[in-house]
Amino acid sequence: MVLVEVEKGLIPPALNFNSAHQKWAKWTRILRHRASELNLNIRSDGYVKVQDLLKLNMKTFANIPLRSHTVDEIKEAVRKDNKQRFSLLEENGELLIRANQGHTVKTVESESLLKAILSAEEVPVCVHGTYKRNLESILKSGLKRMKRLHVHFACGLPTDGEVISGMRRDVNVLIHLDVKKALEEGMKLYISDNGVILTEGFDGIVPVKYFKKIESWPDGQLIHFQTQI
């Protein structure tokens, strides 16, 4: 089965990797962050050969070698992922897998991995979820991509019971991006296969001047802020 790394090894997603954050989060680390470190051939569009993953010298939490898992198990795990974090591709008789977003691996390129957003009409909602404890820093310095390739935005609000890719469920502040202004001033925006909106901003930062509004969540109270020129 696909890799879900933990301190002692890897857990097969058949154990239901949607049920525990630490399971799928550690699994995606390999596809998002560790491919080069593990000498995997990761393409500019993020795809890695499934067979290469299964050849890694790693074992599951139950001490089962990865090579004992099957391609069908991988397909089933990806199909059942409720956030659609992964894509599969059959090419030249081989199966490849990628994480749809969240990479830090520098060989992955935005233009190859993602679809460019060309107009604000394509994404009526573009919102970044965060926490009140982070807001002061964000208003001083803008939204930073940190070690990732992109700043992440969701294309919907974190409605109760609904899974929103690109945002944690427990956020208490929503920052709405002025997509029209950002595009007009040269910011490149993309959307992933699972509907996450991504941008490198300018030099890795989305300045405050591109914030359309900020609200607390879930009460929807507007938070006033000074817009930068």
Average pLDDT, the chain: 83
Whether 182 contacts 119, CB under 8 Å: no
DSSP one-letter string for the chain = ----EETTEE--GGGTTTS-HHHHHHHHHIIIIITTTTT----TTS-EEHHHHHTSS-BBTTS-BGGGS-HHHHHHHHHH-TT--EEEEEETTEEEEEESS----TT--HHHHSEEE-SGGG-S--EEEE-HHHHHHHHHH-EE-TTSSSEEEBSS---TT---TTS-TT--EEEEE-HHHHHHTT--EEE-TTS-EEE-TBTTEE-GGGEEEEEETTT--B---PPP-
Q: What is the rounded CA–CA span in Å between residue 200 and residue 185? A: 14
Q: Look at residue 227 and tell me whether its pLDDT is greater than 70.
A: yes
What's the whole-number mean pLDDT along residues 14-21?
41
C-alpha separations of 199 from 16, 22, 101, 121, 204 in Å: 31, 26, 11, 17, 8
CATH of 5-99, one of 3.30.460.10, 1.10.260.40, 3.40.50.1220, 1.10.10.970: 1.10.10.970
Lowest model confidence (mean pLDDT) among 13-17, 122-126, 185-189, 225-229 = 13-17
- Distance, CA of 186 to chain centre: 23
User: What pLDDT sits at residue 15?
Assistant: 39
Average pLDDT value for residue range 187-210:
95
User: 95 φ, ψ to 5°?
Assistant: -100, 130
Hunting for tokens 């002061």 — which residue is that?
136
Q: Minimal CA–CA distance to 2: which of 72, 63, 90?
A: 72
CATH tag, 114-216: 3.20.170.30
Cis, peptide link before residue 124, omega less than 30° from 0:
no
The pLDDT of residue 37 is above 70 = yes
pLDDT score of 19 more than 50 = no
Give the residue with greater pLDDT, 18 vs 200.
200
Q: Per-residue pLDDT averaged across 194-212, rounded?
A: 95
Predicted confidence (pLDDT) per residue in 94-125, tens digit:
999 999 888 988 888 988 889 999 999 999 99
What whole-number distance in Å separates Cα of residue 210 and Cα of residue 200?
13
* pLDDT, position 7: 32
Closest of 3, 95, 86, 93 to residue 51, by C-alpha: 95
* Domain-wise residue ranges, the chain: 5-99, 114-216
Instruction: Report the percent of the chain where pLDDT is more than 70.
Output: 82
Mean pLDDT throughout 168-178?
94
Angle value at C-alpha 95, between 90 and 101, nearest 5 degrees? 90
Q: pTM of the prediction?
A: 0.71
pLDDT(16) > 60: no
